[in-house]
Amino acid sequence: MRWGKGLEMTDKPDFKKRLSALRKEMKRLGIDGFMIPSADAFQGEYVPASERRLAWISGFTGSMGQAVVLAGKAALFVDGRYTLQAAKETDGKLFTLVGTHEQTLVAWLTANLKDGQILGIDPWLVTANGYRLLEDGCAKAGASLRQLDANPLDGVWRDRPAPPASNVAAHDLAYAGEDRADKRRRASRLLVQAKCDATLIAAPESVCWLLNLRAADVPYAPLLRAFALLHADASVDLFLDESRLQADLGDGVRLHSQDCLISQLSALGRARKSISVDPAQTPLLLTDCLKFSGARIVHSPDPCLGLRAVKNPVEIAGARAAHRRDGAALVRFLASVKAGVRETQAAKAVDAERAKEDLAQGPSFGTIAAHGANGAIVHYRARPGRDAKLKPGNLFLLDSGGQYLDGTTDVTRTVFIGPGQPTADMKRLFTLVLKGHIALASAVFPKGTQGGQLDALARQFLWREGFDYDHGTGHGVGSYLSVHEGPQRIAKSGGAAALEEGMILSIEPGYYRTAAFGIRIENLALVVPAKRLKGGERDMLAFEILTKAPIDKRLLAPGLLTKSERQWLNAYHLGIRRALGSGLSAKPRAWLERATLPL
């Protein structure tokens, strides 16, 4: 199944003209400002071209950001992953770039809105949690927040693409590992425990997981953009045009047109039902519909979130198999990459290698192929005609992943482009990143440990030398769903969910030197039971590394590695050689043998 493409920006859009048109529409509506998020009504990381409002108005193509447009100024808010990218993609005369680690959107609103002014929002694009934050920022400035009946940006986006309407197919039980009826029963038990009559499911990943469905509504993930109601009796109302469905949903699942959603929610409210909604995921418009029609709202996390995060035995076996095939594709690419290749050529080449593998469905995100200074842009995207050529003596950062029917992969490798030798600085920093990676990958921790409690393990060696990186250390990964999924994560800023056996996370410390190079080493890891330690009193957990791709030994400063770190790397490389060697042709097999020789 191939999913929808993202919005490709034309060569030179007139962003000044677009911004002027939006301001005229704002004035017509009687609002002084308007907030534009990168997300759509489903709050997903990847959105279809028809929903990429932030990119259309500003030029910023990153997957996470927000803008506020006032009559005389506009600001774009991004986190540390996107500051360099946003600076390149946007016109600083039109949008002031604000790093959220320096000033939050709410603080900016408080400082820039004036008493009596009105900030407009699209209630389909803001959650209840988001609304409270915006309301607080406006109130401190003496301004107010207004929910708009129509999005003013949509009114001036004349050539807006049509919304996606991909076919919706069943995800085979051979890959899902659990049928939809059992999933519905498990999720509904959580509703019964919470004394709720139903829950509104707004996350496409949860709808797809719960009903074993896959579609192609967004780039890079086999997702269906549709809402669903799960009831305490385990029945489900799915709001989807019947013409799209190519699967038998079986008993207990009722199909409705998308246009029926509001009336169904209103009916639940009039019946005074108790409805659970996730305030971080559900559009404000739908939450308000339930509330004002009389429903008792219970704010709680999506009940599918924790269930789908813990992979079942079939999904775990699929993840291991997918990573073996993915590793073979990466080895074939790494064995052939050399100076003279352009970044876009490299990205296409690694995607092509993955496409040769069984069960491959496409990339799990836009491949990041970044040479030299471009590697310092965390979510860099090479574009034809503006991409760099790989040159000897430089670092090349490749962050890529694949979607397979039996699993989702995500791996980053930083390699040296020869001939020549890496600088001592490159080696030192690469080794510090690797030491942090090994420390986290080798961790043994008690059940109940949260991801945020482990984050410092990966940063400690960089910190000792006065370095750090401005992104999380690990994110959850779905099973042929989204490459970035919660609730599990590893980050300084959070990661409150306890890690559980069966969860899959990335481990990806890095270092980025502006205008010079970037370093990141990323593997996916499965949370598994640890061997009971002699004399130990508690059940412990550990990580099983799934990714099978060599780490470039040319970039090591061996004197910085301890004996146990050397043993870890040698054991990791031996496992790759044993898993992949026999299935490769002569040239990549010979390269793999050299790349995985023990230290």
| 124 neighbors 37 (Cβ within 8 angstroms) | no
pLDDT in tens, 405-455: 999 999 999 999 999 999 999 999 999 999 999 999 999 999 999 999 999
Q: In sequence order, what are the residues at sequence separation of 6 or more whose Cβ sits closer than 8 angstroms to the Cβ of residue 556?
A: 427, 430, 431, 434, 599
Reply yes or no on whether the pLDDT at 201 is more than 90.
Answer: yes
Distances (CA, A) of 487 to 301, 406, 453, 522: 9, 21, 15, 19
Report which of 325, 323, 304, 326 is spatially closest to residue 315, judged by C-alpha positions.
323
So what's the pLDDT on residue 79? 83
Report which of 216, 202, 167 is spatially closest to residue 49, judged by C-alpha positions.
216
Count of residues making up the chain? 599
Other residues' Cβ atoms within 10 Å of the Cβ of residue 80? 17
- Residue ranges and CATH numbers for the domains of the chain are 15-156 (3.40.350.10), 169-308 (3.40.350.10), 310-595 (3.90.230.10)
| 153 neighbors 57 (Cβ within 8 angstroms) | yes
Name the region of 346 (left: φ>0; alpha: ψ -120 to 50; beta: rest).
Answer: alpha
Residue that is written with structure tokens 């000792």 in the block = 464
**Average of pLDDT values for 499-517?**
97
**Average of pLDDT values for 209-220?**
97
Report which of 185, 179, 230 is spatially closest to residue 203, judged by C-alpha positions.
230
**Of residues 87 and 335, more confidently modeled:** 335
Is there a cis peptide before residue 13, judged by omega within 30 degrees of 0? Answer: no
So what's the pLDDT on residue 283? 96
So what's the pLDDT on residue 4? 52
**Least confident interval from 72-86, 107-121, 313-327, 544-558:** 72-86
How far apart CA 281 and CA 115 sit, in angstroms, is 31
Reply yes or no on whether the pLDDT at 8 is more than 50.
Answer: no
Residue 209's H or E segment, with its range, is: helix 204-211
So what's the pLDDT on residue 6? 47
Other residues' Cβ atoms within 10 Å of the Cβ of residue 254? 14
Sheet holding 540-545, edge to edge: 444-446, 540-545, 523-529, 504-507, 474-476, 485-490
Question: β-strands 517-520, 510-513: how paired?
Answer: antiparallel
Query: Which three-class secondary structure state does DSSP give residue 222?
Result: coil
**Average of pLDDT values for 372-388?**
91
Binned at pLDDT 50, 70 and 90, residue 287 comes out as very high
**Average of pLDDT values for 3-19?**
69
How far apart CA 98 and CA 130 sit, in angstroms, is 18
How far apart CA 157 and CA 148 sit, in angstroms, is 17
pLDDT in tens, 71-123: 999 999 998 778 888 888 999 999 999 988 888 999 999 999 999 999 999 99
pTM attached to this predicted model: 0.93
So what's the pLDDT on residue 2? 54
pLDDT in tens, 234-245: 999 999 999 999
So what's the pLDDT on residue 9? 46
Mean pLDDT of the chain: 94
How far apart CA 355 and CA 408 sit, in angstroms, is 13
Report which of 164, 199, 175 is spatially closest to residue 478, judged by C-alpha positions.
175
So what's the pLDDT on residue 150? 94
Share of the chain above pLDDT 70, in %: 98
Residue 183 corresponds to which tokens in the numbers above? 């999933």
**Of residues 574 and 10, more confidently modeled:** 574
